[in-house]
Each structure stands twice: as C-alpha cells, then as structure tokens.
Amino acid sequence: MLSKKFIISSILILGSCFLLTKITAQIQLNGGYNNLTVDFNEDLNTEVINKDLSGWSVEAAYWFRLKDYRVEFYPGVGISSLTGENSSLYDEYELNLTHLFWGTRIYPFTFEDDCMCPTFNKQSGFFEDGFFISLTPHFIFSEQTTRLTAIEEDQIKSNTYLLDIGAGLDIGISEFLTITPEFRYRFSGDFDSTLPGVDINQTQWNSNLSGWYVGLGIGLRWKN
C-alpha cells in the first residue's frame, strides 16, 4: 500500500512539472514484465544466495523535452510486485516496490531536431525518428514478505535506489497516441532482508536486484 509520504511527494513532483513547463507535453503510461535475480548477502560473512524473481511493473509519468535538442524527460511514479518460486528458503517470497523516478531519453539519430511535434509528424524515417536510449534512476520504497508456512511470516521495509539503462522505439500511431516498446537492464542498491529459513536468529541480510525489464508504453499528447 502506498505511504502517505509517497503520495504527497508524487503529487508535488508531477504538479511542479506541469506548472513549470509551458511547452508541448504528454502523459506516459508504462506497463511491463520483470525477470530479475535477488542476491542475499549475510552481513557477517561472504555467503551469497541467489534467487529468481518475476513480476509486473506499472508507471505513470509526465513528459517534456529540451527546446533545441531531442532529449526528453519523464518524471513519474510507479509500483512493482515481484514474487519468488518455492524453495528450501521459503514457501513464498514477495517484494513490493513503490518508486519515484526521473527518466531521460536521448534520440541519437535526430538529436538536433528542434521540432516540438509528435513522432507521428516527424519525417526522418521510422527507425531514425523513434529509436532512443534511456537512463532512469528510481528512489525505491521496498516491502519484503517471506513466508515459511501458512502461519509463519516475516516482513521488513527498506529504502534504496534502482537504476535502469535501456533502449526503445517510439511508434507514432497518431498525433494523439504513441506506442513505445522498451527493454531495460535494471539493478538496485542494497536493501534490508531477513531469511528465517536460513537463520533462525533473524540476522539482517543485505539484498540487491538485477535483471531485465520488458515493457510497453502509451504516450497521450493533449496539448499542441
């Protein structure tokens, strides 16, 4: 469940972007699938345990760009839900993330394009107009739940960062609508975990994520 602080921060960030930009703008909605690995590293030794996680992410962002160069910015908010398969460590592992992020896209083939028009109206070519590379740092609120049995459950909350490096392609459907498939490699800083199935004394472990995100974005342009 989103915290009150997270909701207030999200509204302030998106509201500031809307008020400070008087240029063409749009809302970007993203949904995608994560195929990640979580590494558990116990504080007191060098033991590392790796487990696979998978799940979905959804994001909403406000879009704006530089006036003279095709560099676009996407400040926004998102949530992710990741789960791990049954193992000797746990019957169920769940990791819920809420994020504040700032996405940046650079379009190398049309970098000096100063046209504020949508991708649908650009004339350089399908791939040249749409291809971009992206860098997206996230601030993460994490909530981990580990269940050993139906009645034994351990929960811990922590904060960390997540960094996405990726590439994608804007496909202009109309002046109003742009579809964007995107691939990202993502990795996180350390966050707190416990593994009661390994350590009955509830020793704190450091955990981090890495792996792939595959998603589809929908850009809705509402002002010319």
Beta bridge partners of 142: 97, 158
pLDDT category of residue 149 using cuts at 50, 70 and 90: low
Most confident of 1-5, 53-57, 201-205: 53-57
Residues 47/82, Cβ–Cβ less than 8 Å: no
- Of the given ranges (16-30, 45-59, 143-157), which has the lowest mean pLDDT? 16-30
Q: What is the DSSP letter of 158?
A: E
88: nearest Cα among 17, 146, 155:
146
> What is the structure's pLDDT at 23?
47
Q: Assess whether pLDDT exceeds 50 at residue 9.
A: yes
pLDDT category of residue 207 using cuts at 50, 70 and 90: confident
How much is the mean pLDDT over the chain? 80
pTM (predicted TM-score): 0.80
Domain ranges (residues) in the chain:
4-221
CA distance 213 to 55: 10
For the chain, the farthest-separated pair of C-alpha atoms sits apart, in whole angstroms, at: 64
> What is the structure's pLDDT at 38?
85
- Say which residue, 33 or 175, is predicted with more confidence: 33
Q: Assess whether pLDDT exceeds 90 at residue 69.
A: no
Mean predicted confidence (pLDDT) in 92-107: 92
> What is the structure's pLDDT at 66?
86
> What is the structure's pLDDT at 71?
92
Element (H, E) at 52: strand 48-65
129: nearest Cα among 168, 78, 89:
168
Residues 32/214, Cβ–Cβ less than 8 Å: yes
> What is the structure's pLDDT at 97?
93
- Domain 4-221, CATH: 2.40.160.20
CA distance 75 to 79: 14
Q: Assess whether pLDDT exceeds 60 at residue 202.
A: no
- Of the given ranges (109-118, 134-143, 208-217), which has the lowest mean pLDDT? 109-118
Relative to beta strand 204-221, strand 191-194 is: antiparallel
Q: How would DSSP label each residue in 40-51?
A: EEETTS--EEEE
